[in-house]
């Protein structure tokens, strides 16, 4: 049975992962967005919505979706409750990724865009991993420019993510988005050429 070369795409918040994913899509590469998949699981009728509502009473919105703010309030600072949530969501998210790969079995390359790729063991299903990075000051500036973001929230998100240096050490490819758009696109082209087993474009 044919299957694509699976490239895991990851990077900490504010590193430019979404922009990099878009570059792969522009080149015709199918990209699985794990965040979007989780949003679908939390949506009305989503596979995780009822289970989360049972485990975390009061988190179901009137339309049948998970109220993410209420859920966040229940798990914030409580490792046990967070572990319970992850035990409900992660298997469903893995199944969604598996269904995506099956649907694109004939593609030469497919990308799994997963923010917590290493943290959840998702790298085990990848043939190679690309880590998107940027200088810490660039990352901080990007994140704090987002609506509703503050320094405390940024730090709490960073605390849940594997340090950037460790991710880079475990990566097969590293793309520094702080070097500019053209350099990033050239790197994406070079990575695809490598995965396809062909020379990169001049």
What string of DSSP letters covers 56-71? STT-B-TTSSB-HHHH
pLDDT of the residue at 100: 96
| H or E element in which residue 181 lies | helix 181-196
Buried b (16+ CB within 10 A) or exposed e, 159-172: eebbebeebeeebb
pLDDT of the residue at 198: 53
Q: Which residue has the tokens 């793309």?
A: 175
pLDDT of the residue at 1: 54
For residue 198 the two structure tokens come to: 């062909």
pLDDT of the residue at 200: 44
Could you say which DSSP state residue 123 is in?
Answer: G
pLDDT of the residue at 95: 93
Those residues whose C-beta lies under 8 Å from the C-beta of residue 64, and which sit 6 or more positions away, are: 44, 45, 49
User: In terms of residues, how long is the chain?
Assistant: 202
**Superfamily of domain 1-30+109-202 in the CATH hierarchy:** P-loop containing nucleotide triphosphate hydrolases (3.40.50.300)
pLDDT per position as a tens digit, 94-122? 999 999 999 999 999 999 999 999 988 99
For 105, phi then psi, to 5°, come to: -60, -25
Compute the radius of gyration of the chain from its Cα atoms: 18
Provide block-wise average pLDDT over 10 residues at a time, the chain (202 residues).
88 94 96 94 92 93 92 87 92 93 94 93 94 95 92 87 95 95 95 77 45
pLDDT of the residue at 199: 46
């Amino acid at each position: 049975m044919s299957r694509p070369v699976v490239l895991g795409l990851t990077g900490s918040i504010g590193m430019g992962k979404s922009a990099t994913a878009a570059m792969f899509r522009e080149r015709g590469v199918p990209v699985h967005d794990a965040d979007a998949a989780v949003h679908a699981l939390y949506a009305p009728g989503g596979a995780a919505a009822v289970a989360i509502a049972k485990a975390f009473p009061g988190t179901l919105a009137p339309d049948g979706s998970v109220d993410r703010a209420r859920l966040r309030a229940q798990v914030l600072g409580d490792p046990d409750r967070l572990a319970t949530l992850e035990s409900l969501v992660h298997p469903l998210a893995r199944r969604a990724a598996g269904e995506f790969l099956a649907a694109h079995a004939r593609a030469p390359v497919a990308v799994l865009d997963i923010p917590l790729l290493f943290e959840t063991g998702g790298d085990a299903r990848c043939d190679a991993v690309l880590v998107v990075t940027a200088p810490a000051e660039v990352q901080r500036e990007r994140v704090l420019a987002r609506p509703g973001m503050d320094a405390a929230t940024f730090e709490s998100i960073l605390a849940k993510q594997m340090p950037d240096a460790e991710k880079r050490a475990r990566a097969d490819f590293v793309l520094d988005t702080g070097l500019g758009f053209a350099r990033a696109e050239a790197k994406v082209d070079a990575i695809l050429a490598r995965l396809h087993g062909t020379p990169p474009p001049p």
